[in-house]
Chain A
């Protein structure tokens, strides 16, 4: 079985005006069997820095632990918070270390730069190849649906509330067409000095 489709799940992130948002669904599966409907795939890496890791869940959890370890070491050594683009480079090199036996996870990173408050969003594949100059990033089992919806619904300079609504519609409508994702969603809206986390309901089939 394809390791990317075994547990299922999606992540999506979007830039707004002085804010970013990142969302994931809640399903954890084992093939066609749903094991849990309370399993978000977005993890906190700092006060304004989140990473979403859809893919093979066992690898997601390993990767998130390894990353947290590296972030902690970095922040102790540097005595400052890690910046999103530095974190991106860290994830990139960590994934590429496993070039010939990769972790089966895609990554979506969203955060605000602690120094400039610039919104930052990126997505990368299993080997750490990614794109930084996009206003939104998607990954997971409903990738195409997410991409089409982002392309059609996103607009520049969304305020935090509008960004939340747009991202909600994107993830909701995408997982409606994905039998491996869904079962609810969690959305984090990251602003300067504030993160709002909301849970939304989706179809449960």
Chain B
């Protein structure tokens, strides 16, 4: 009991891209503790409502508890207001939910992604105590350092001839975004032992949600 720790790191990588008329969320499906693989198929993307999804790496038990908390709060919202929470409202809800545990935080790196009421993509990412960041693209988790510069280069068009984000949102199409995130996860799985098995991509547009799955390295 003396060396008990209430936290573990179950690894994994999550990423998202917000487009003009879509949002794309991706995650790997490996769950590990140290050098042991706990599960090869536990995708880290969780639907919260018709318009909003949640993706999270970190300590899996905290991830599950956090989602339960969010679902309770979202249900209370429906009973009070007679409608589902908007994506922006869920993004705002994350801060008090996480900061409420300021002195015993959930060990999580969450991303909230979804569409606003006009069908435009929105992405927000948070640190374990709820500090929000709003970018057009984001990557968090164990493969973050490997892939972050790649996304800046390809989506942010950093260090290209003009240094102007030529293909960044709004110019980035959903097809191209899918290809980029697939490549990003292939690269992460190649070198990060906590990322692998499969990559799940969830594409959300006003027309509906499409889920894609591709194999990654399994070693």
Contact = CB atoms under 8 A, between A and B. Distances in A.
Interface of A: 144-145, 147-149, 151-153, 169, 172-174, 176-177
B159 A172 contact: yes
Interface string B141-168: 0010111111011000011000000000
Nearest to A146: B149
B101 interface: no
Given A152-B183, A152-B184, A173 B191 contact: no
Contact of A173 (B145, B146, B158): B158
B153 A151 contact: no
A166 to B, nearest CB: 11
Given A172-B159, A176-B159, A148 B146 contact: yes
Interface in B179-219: 183-184, 186-188, 190-191
Contacts of B186: 151-152
A145 B158 CA distance: 14
A112 B183 CA distance: 30
Contacts of A148: 143, 145-150, 187-188, 191
B191 A177 contact: no
Name A's interface SS.
helix
A199 to B, nearest CB: 15
A159 to B, nearest CB: 19
Given A152-B186, A176-B149, 20 more contacts: A145-B149, A147-B146, A148-B148, A148-B150, A148-B191, A149-B150, A149-B153, A151-B186, A151-B187, A151-B190, A151-B191, A152-B147, A152-B183, A153-B150, A173-B150, A176-B152, A176-B158, A176-B159, A177-B149, A177-B152
A174 B152 CA distance: 10
Q: Choose among B143, B145, B188 the residue with the greatest number of A CB atoms under 10 Å from its CB.
A: B145
